[in-house]
Structure 1
Amino acid sequence: MYKTILVHADLSAHAPARIRWAATLAQALGAHLVGAAMLGVSRTVLPRGCHWQPGTLEAGYFEPLADNARRALSRFTAIAGERQVPCETRLVCDLPDDGLARQARSADLVVISQDDPDEAMPGVGTRLPEYVILNSARPVLLVPRGDPAPEMAPRILVGWNGSQEASSALAAAIPLLQRAITVMVVALTRPGRGDHGAQFATDQSELSGFLHRHRVPAHFCTREERHGSGRDLLALAQELDCGMLVMGCFGHSRFHELCVGGATRTILAEAALPVLLAH
């Protein structure tokens, strides 16, 4: 059960939708909601926190950033108040990516927005979703940039390939799966990989018992991969009219930076429905 939900608060045009999603989940699950706004400066610059002497050069630079963060938190508080959920605000002296990843250590779920190529937010030097998902110890709910109205999805699609990441995502999604009417667990098979179907049959037996004990009656199916697993999962979610996708996030090291794999990159870029990811 989620007891603490962390949501990114900033001045993005997509912030209200993401906060409403987080507030709706908190209300439905009886969770405490935390809104975190980042100053936009690395914590190494201000190791003692957001403190500076009024009237100094530092104040002239940092205070406008702090004002923006406070405005974002004020908007968060107003939206959380609409849902009447218990909440708190945090003004974090850090960059958005690393700050969110660190704040996630004391939360059960992190809610962020999908990147929007048409909106460049100041202080965000990385692909925020990728960084937070790969560096956070908690599952992440990605709200699409289409800003859909928040709802507890009645139909949820779970992507399964037997990996640790897929298992982590499935377990992390249990509180949401328990409230769904239909849960479909799908494995994508590739031509020439006949053993994969047999393995999924074994996994299905074990997963069925696991989910049943969590009061999640799930259906299982296999589909042949045709256009890449990321696009195939999104197409199947649309075909089945699912309101959420659950999947593991894969990453690898490249030039000493963490990068997501191709399927995850496709999902992060093209998803039009909320996606719960775990790494």
Structure 2
Amino acid sequence: MSYKTIVVHADLSRHAPGRIRIAAELAKAHGAHLIGVAATGVSRDIFPHGYHAAPDSLEASYFQPLHDTAARALEQFAAIADEAGVPSEGRLVCDLVSDALARLGRFSDLVVVNQDDLAEALTDTIGRVPEYVVFTCARPVLVVPCAPGRRSPGEHILVAWNGSKEASAALRAAVPLMQRATRVTVVSFQIPGGAGLSDAGEDADLIAFLSRHAIRVEMLAIRRNIDNGHHLLTLAAQDGYDLVVMGCYGHTQFRELFLGGVSRTVLQDSTIPLLLAR
């Protein structure tokens, strides 16, 4: 198995080159087509058929710079993709970043975005992009952390498992990456004195499922509550994992997102790339 279409957010933020390079490296490894998505940051409710403001008009004085910025972002994307030697195309979308990625992400195998960086706070990237895309595009999302110096993830993979449908979706989405990994560990957290989140029968079925995809896995059960996500991040950092795979929990109401405690903590605090699905 492999990813055949990868979508990556293209903008002019300080994190964009690293994010695009990771997406390009994954595209090259999987023989995938890479699509860079640059958005104007203006809802398509304003321009439902794209940007067509008359030159020198009041509308153009506001919206044309946003359009030009997105175009420059695609030039940067194209240069990085060409350098990596992967087939690619750029899409300039007149929409909010989150909605543009979610919509085009539905026609991909993987979407690559950055962890939100409120310190940078570009007007076209505010809006809790990672979780919105996870909840609305129905595709796995690779969240690249803001922490610098990360290589392409997937050599040492840690999978958070509790038997839920969200965890199952994340496990399935990570199969192409796990097939290329040198170490895969599935960890389940068990509340001391309480029932475990998985049993021996489920563990055996999980191992058998992955083995049929030529994936060797180590099972790890930790007698500790994973109530806030910090234990998962500590384990991943201490043991040298370069990717955490987990289901994303919560629900969306209009554009308001309500995340479970573990999902919220991991998205906000991780310095390790995350593969999220639900």
Within 5 Å, which residues of 2 pair with 1:176-191?
176-191=177-192
Superposed displacement of residue 107, structure 1: 0.9
Deviates more, 1:171-180 or 1:150-159: 150-159
**What is the rounded CA distance, in whole Å, between the counterparts of 2:104 and 2:266 in structure 1?**
24
Structure-2 residue corresponding to 1:245: 244
Q: CA deviation at 1:53?
A: 2.1
1:44 matched to 2:45? The reply is: yes
CA shift, 1:252, in A, is 2.9
Cα distance, 1:258 vs structure 2: 2.4
- For 1:106, the equivalent position in structure 2 comes to 107
Superposed displacement of residue 149, structure 1: 3.4
Asked if the contact 1:188–1:229 (Cα under 8 Å) also holds between the matched residues in 2, the reply is no
Q: What is aligned with 2:128?
A: 127
Report what 1:211 is aligned to: 210
What is the distance in 2 between the residues matched to 1:21 and 1:156?
16
Tell me, yes or no, if the aligned pair for 1:5 and 1:26 is still in contact at 8 Å.
yes
Task: State the Cα distance separating 1:148 from its structure 2 match.
Answer: 2.9
Distance of aligned partners of 1:136 and 1:48 in 2 relative to their CA distance in 1, 3 Å threshold:
same
TM-score, reference length from structure 2 = 0.95
Task: Flag the 1:258–1:177 CA change in 2: closer, same or farther, 3 A.
Answer: same
Which 4+ runs in 1 deviate beyond 6 A?
none
The alignment partner of 1:106 has SS state of coil
Contact 1:5/1:107, CA 8 A, preserved across alignment = yes
User: Percent same amino acid at aligned positions?
Assistant: 51
Report the AA paired with residue 61 of structure 2.
Answer: G
AA at the equivalent of 1:135: T
- Counterpart residue identity of residue 218, structure 1: V
Aligned residues: 277
Query: Does structure 2 conserve the Cα–Cα contact (< 8 Å) formed by 1:187 and 1:222?
Result: yes
* TM-score, length basis structure 1: 0.95
Q: Is 1:2–2:10 an aligned residue pair?
A: no
For 2:270, the equivalent position in structure 1 comes to 271
Equivalent residue, structure 1, for 2:54? 53
Identify the residue that residue 144 of structure 1 maps to in structure 2. Answer: 145
Q: Does the C-alpha gap of structure 1 residues 132 and 253 become closer, same or farther in structure 2, counting only changes over 3 Å?
A: closer
Moved more, 219-228 or 140-149: 219-228
Alignment-derived partner of residue 165 in structure 1: 166
Which runs of no fewer than 5 residues in structure 1 stay unpaired?
Answer: none
| Cα deviations by residue, 1:169-214 (Å, 9 ceiling, x for unpaired) | 00000000000011000100112323x26x3322111111100000
Q: Is 1:64 the counterpart of 2:37 in the alignment?
A: no
Gaps of 5+ in 2: none
- 2:257 aligns with 258
What is the match of residue 27 of structure 1? 28
Report the AA paired with residue 17 of structure 2.
P
Q: Whole-Å Cα distance in 2 between the matches of residues 105 and 187 of structure 1? A: 30
Q: Secondary structure at the match of 2:235?
A: helix
Amino acid at match of 1:100: L
